[in-house]
Homo-oligomer: A and B are copies of this chain.
Amino acid sequence: MRKRIKIIIPNTTSEFNESVYNLFNPLKASDTELDICNIKGEGALYLDQKYDEVWSELSLLKEAEQAEKDGFDGVIVYCALDPARMALREALQIPVVSIFETALHVTAMLGNHISLIAPPGSIASREEMFHQYHMEDQMTSVEFFNLGIENLAEDESSSYQIVKAAAQRALNKGADSLVLGCGAVMGIAKRLSEELGVPVVEPGPVALKYCEALIELGLHHSKVAFSLPRRHMP
């Protein structure tokens, strides 16, 4: 079954486009077609907190609405802050996959005490996400690693050790499973999991598999819960 999926990176920079494509491409089903873009118009260069989300959400919303008009079967918002999640579900009828939400639900099926490992930002905005998804009872901690998104790629080996130290702090507090809270941290989940002995969930890949599953099974979000906008903007 042909599945056309639009991946929207809600950053104004295109610097992640290629690496996200390279992350997703080997994981996609053979009959999945991926299209990737970042946002146009106003927006944040990188998204760390709610402030950045507000900058990017309208451009993201427009991009997603266009994707539905263009006949895509599903949309993945590639940012672990899940910007505009509810608005997108009101606006669209095709599945909209928020990557952190998906990752959190998967992690909750793998363990009971979840810590989020994330780049520096606002503690309130990160913890809010566990609350929003009714999983604060399962949250052990939010661990910020001391390295901005903009510096992650500079020295991969050193970056890995900084992320791992944050993960180790989480385990010391009782976490039994970890979720990575940054779309720019790619490809380290498996190594981290093996070295630490707990599951480590990277949001992008699980979101891709979940989006494919929704399309194949003909599932989409409830329009009774997320009703269409009463007044669509032009």
Contacts and interface: CB of A to CB of B under 8 A. Distances in A.
Contact of A220 (B42, B45, B199, B220): B199
Interface residues of A, number: 81
A123 interface: yes
Interface string A131-175: 110111110000000001000000000000000000000010000
A68 B233 CA distance: 30
A39 to B, nearest CB: 12
A227 interface: yes
Interface string A99-135: 0011001101111110000001111110110011011
A221 B171 CA distance: 15
Copy count, this protein chain? 6
Nearest to A141: B174
Contacts of A186: none
A148 B224 CA distance: 18
A209 interface: yes
A32 to B, nearest CB: 11
Given A124-B86, A134-B137, A227 B49 contact: yes
Contacts of A138: 134
Nearest to A222: B111
A86 B50 CA distance: 6
A108 to B, nearest CB: 7
A125 B44 contact: no
A113 B199 contact: no
Contacts of A42: 58
B206 A221 contact: no
Nearest to A178: B222
Contacts of A110: 219-222
Contacts of A201: 219
- Residue among A27, A54, A197, A229 with most chain B CB within 10 A: A54
Given A51-B87, A198-B223, A206-B213, 10 more contacts: A48-B231, A90-B122, A106-B219, A110-B219, A111-B224, A122-B226, A124-B227, A134-B137, A176-B225, A199-B222
